[in-house]
């Protein structure tokens, strides 16, 4: 059962990450993208006040499941965990965090632009 939950949270993570990075592309998903970006930023920054900057409840729940499955020494970041797993190397957490933050910030700026600024310039 824990393996099924682990798989579920992995898929959920990948869907959220993919949508955070690419959801701004399609006009039909831009409003939802902006909401998901706000929720993600809120988790990282507001919940981060209490749990540490970059806190993600989904990662927290998945790491609890992984611990039940016997995994130890899990990093703080889901992205780092899978980047290490895919590359077979122990990548720098600072590098992964910076790449994640830059990618997220770029997508967030694009979302704000396309949802609020670009709309106004097209009306004129």
pLDDT digits over 60-100, tens only? Answer: 999 999 999 999 999 999 999 999 999 999 999 999 999 99
Mean pLDDT of all residues in the chain? 95
pLDDT at 49: 95
Contact criterion met (CB below 8 Å) for 111 and 29: no
Q: What is the pLDDT of residue 118?
A: 81
Arithmetic mean of pLDDT, 10-29: 98
- Give CA 104 to chain center in angstroms: 8
- What are 103-124's pLDDT values in tens digits? 999 999 999 999 999 866 665 5
Q: What pTM was computed for the model? A: 0.91
Q: Are 97 and 77 in contact (CB under 8 A)?
A: yes
C-alpha dihedral sign at 63, 64, 67, 72: positive
Quote the tokens at residue 84.
């290490």
What number is the average pLDDT over the span 5-31? 98
CA–CA distances in Å: residue 70 to residues 8, 10, 73, 86 = 18, 17, 10, 20
CA–CA separation, 121 and 83 (whole Å): 39
């Amino acid at each position: 059962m824990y393996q099924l939950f682990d798989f579920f949270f992995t898929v959920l993570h990948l869907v959220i990450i993919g949508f955070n990075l690419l959801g701004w592309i399609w006009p039909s998903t831009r409003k939802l993208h902006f909401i998901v970006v706000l929720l993600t930023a809120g988790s990282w920054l507001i919940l981060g006040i209490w749990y540490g900057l970059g806190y993600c409840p989904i990662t927290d729940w998945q790491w609890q499941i992984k611990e039940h499955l016997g995994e130890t020494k899990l990093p703080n970041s889901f992205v780092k965990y899978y980047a290490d797993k895919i590359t077979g190397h122990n990548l720098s957490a600072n590098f992964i965090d910076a790449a994640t933050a830059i990618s997220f910030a770029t997508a967030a700026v694009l979302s704000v632009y396309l949802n609020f600024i670009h709309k106004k310039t097209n009306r004129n």
